[in-house]
Structure 1
């Protein structure tokens, strides 16, 4: 009995300690995300009001490129640096990552680059968590938990999805395996981070998914709809894989054409400007949550009949891959929401199902495939759209995850359980290493 009581007290002390450590991380990350989202709205409005700013995109990209080149000290690795530090601590996460990625992302959006916001919020959260860990002299082996708290708080706050943020911080590290050792700290961090962001008066976009009337709290089982959802999940997985591989290959291509890194964004900016003029639309610039003045396609419109064109998903893929691969800062996730929701819109129309439902499926499932986080994305669907179609959310996300293969937007992810048994990889192999092994096997080396 005494040993049981001692164990209980030890568990309570551990819980209290990590709650107290997670709180300041969450408050800082939530506040930073609130300022970032407010600033992002201002620069987006400026871009809309002054379309000519697009012509300055090459100069803005080069300016940020020089900042990262001379002051970054590894910050340019972004989310991959955080994942690497959690798995195998090395040089640490520099405190300068937070202001650099904030400035870099705002410049990208001010001048019209196509990028997201998740990367910025996560990197700010991780950078602030690392800074707090150093100030509080947290033991080296516990700093990984602090970094995970920063990721959870940043993700949960920037999208208004606290449960998703907590699961994402654990699931994104290792493909096929979720480590629960940080369960309570990341949950506290994500919930408090989201609450802090909301307390600053920041509001998140509400997506309307009309739910068919039914007597229960969840949609009745429909075998045909479930089959269509699985087929759509295959398309979402392939779409996520296409985005990831295109971005990585363009990144290598830019590096070959322009060896000097600070100048690469200029080439990417010229590509974005060319795409705007070839297509004759600005719908694919910026976040894409709502359409620009006079625009027709966005994430919000994809939930409506006629709110996307058959190739909207492809154009957003090209715009975003060119922007990020050339060195501009921002995230991939919101563009992936755009790509997934517009692709889902098209699939819903083809399959003669509600476009809003398939836009919602694409919204979460394409991200699930590209980030290898099916659990987090299923929960995101429930947090954003309600639990009515939870079964369909899960099917779309898990099928997408499987068919995206061993690719992804975060090359520092480790492979815990291979998606296919034919891929023989050593323990803790990163996606980057697995892709190289696959390339060599295909080449017969």
Structure 2
């Protein structure tokens, strides 16, 4: 009897501890994320009114590279923890391979502000996720938690950052568990991740009063066999776009690191020059920054037919040459504008196909089908539930073992049709294919 009481007492003490720590992380991360969102919006507005700032992007790249080269590398337990690895470092921390330096959040915020202000093509959730990991590491250091709890808190930081960045607390909770690995969910982390994500969402919206962007589906097609076939076909197309982006972005990174011998300052300077040239060729700055105006437009009226391809190139060059930020919003842009482009060929409503593309391209790139589906439910208020579920599953399967983050571990292949070794990372799988 005493053993049973002791067991339940221990269980509830752990549960309460996770809720408390998750909530603390959520409150702190949401406050820093709100600062990120508001500052990014302000800097983006300033840049849009001053076109000439784009010509300073190469100089911004030099400053950003200097910061990462001189302050971004931290040694711990004879292991190099390079903040320039961005979300990959956070994923490695979840797996216990590395640690997230406490300075990472500040560095990535500065880097994101520089990138956005001078016109690099990027998003914001990457900075929020990395700040979440940085704050979780600080909480872990302060309370001297064990390795098991430390991993849980890193996932909680991811959840808080993502949930607060997009106003999607349920998605944030699952994203924190799903981001690090393919084929495995650590449901024990659900409690701290939920606490962190909901606390973060409440602080961002109710306390700090931040208003998230809203997208509306005007018409959802009636359920029919033909429509499902069209949705599946569209999801395959969207998944291939996510693969194209991932391969191009990592290809540019690998090439530029080799060419400039991992000199971050030189890489970003040249990358800035290329973005300036691409902007002049495009004749507009629609593909610089976050691109929220055209993203909103893709739900309402026609956009340039190759807008998705232009955004893909701009973002791949920006992030592949060492600038920083998030990749979710650029993927949203690519998917929504591609959906807008093909809606007449597929005879589906414009806003519906734009929404489908937004979710499916993100799903294929992030390899997070459950989080992507939940994001659709939260973002579009539950409309088209059956179609979004099918699109997420198809995009996840057809995107193969590619993705935004090479450090993602493949606990189990997406299908037996893929000849992949269990426990490999996406990076190792790519290397084996090339060899």
Q: Do the structures match in fold with TM over 0.5?
A: yes
Shift of 1:388: 2.4
Shift of 1:365: 0.7
CA RMSD of aligned residues (A): 1.4
> How many Å separate the matches in 1 of 2:135 and 2:104?
9
Matches within 5 A, 1:21-420: 21-73=21-73, 74-90=82-98, 92-198=99-205, 199-211=207-219, 220-259=222-261, 260-290=263-293, 298-306=294-302, 308-420=303-415
Shift of 1:162: 0.6
> How many Å separate the matches in 1 of 2:222 and 2:278?
44
Shift of 1:425: 3.8
Aligned residue for 1:350, secondary structure, equals helix
Describe the superposition over 1:292-339 as per-residue Cα deviations: whole angstroms up to 9, x where unpaired: xxxxxx110010131x22111000000000000000010111100000
TM-score for the superposition, normalised by structure 2: 0.95
Query: Is the contact between residue 170 and residue 374 of structure 2 (CA under 8 Å) also seen in structure 1?
Result: yes
TM-score for the superposition, normalised by structure 1: 0.93
> How many Å separate the matches in 2 of 1:123 and 1:263?
24
Aligned residue for 1:36, secondary structure, equals helix
Query: Is the contact between residue 413 and residue 422 of structure 2 (CA under 8 Å) also seen in structure 1?
Result: no
Query: Is the contact between residue 29 and residue 193 of structure 1 (CA under 8 Å) also seen in structure 2?
Result: yes
> How many Å separate the matches in 2 of 1:423 and 1:365?
21
My pick for the range that moved more, 253-262 or 400-409, is: 253-262
> How many Å separate the matches in 2 of 1:96 and 1:309?
41
Q: Compared with structure 1, are the counterparts of its residues 390 and 56 closer, same or farther at alpha carbon in structure 2 (3 Å cutoff)?
A: same
> How many Å separate the matches in 1 of 2:123 and 2:94?
23
Shift of 1:211: 4.1
Query: Is the contact between residue 29 and residue 150 of structure 1 (CA under 8 Å) also seen in structure 2?
Result: yes
Query: Is the contact between residue 211 and residue 388 of structure 1 (CA under 8 Å) also seen in structure 2?
Result: no
Answering whether residue 9 of structure 2 is matched by residue 9 of structure 1, we say yes
> How many Å separate the matches in 2 of 1:424 and 1:354?
38
Query: Is the contact between residue 415 and residue 430 of structure 1 (CA under 8 Å) also seen in structure 2?
Result: yes
> How many Å separate the matches in 1 of 2:4 and 2:234?
51
**Which residue pairs with 2:78 in the alignment?**
none
**Which residue pairs with 1:294 in the alignment?**
none
My pick for the range that moved more, 100-109 or 170-179, is: 170-179
**Which residue pairs with 1:215 in the alignment?**
none
**Which residue pairs with 1:293 in the alignment?**
none
My pick for the range that moved more, 311-320 or 412-421, is: 412-421
Query: Is the contact between residue 250 and residue 322 of structure 1 (CA under 8 Å) also seen in structure 2?
Result: yes
Shift of 1:17: 1.1
Shift of 1:172: 1.3
Describe the superposition over 1:75-113 as per-residue Cα deviations: whole angstroms up to 9, x where unpaired: 1111100111111243x2111101110010001010010
Shift of 1:6: 4.6
> How many Å separate the matches in 2 of 1:7 and 1:342?
54
Query: Is the contact between residue 126 and residue 326 of structure 2 (CA under 8 Å) also seen in structure 1?
Result: yes
Describe the superposition over 1:122-163 as per-residue Cα deviations: whole angstroms up to 9, x where unpaired: 000110110111011111221000100000000000010111
- Which ranges of structure 1 fall in alignment gaps of 5 or more residues? 213-218, 291-297, 441-445
> How many Å separate the matches in 2 of 1:7 and 1:136?
23
Query: Is the contact between residue 29 and residue 161 of structure 2 (CA under 8 Å) also seen in structure 1?
Result: yes
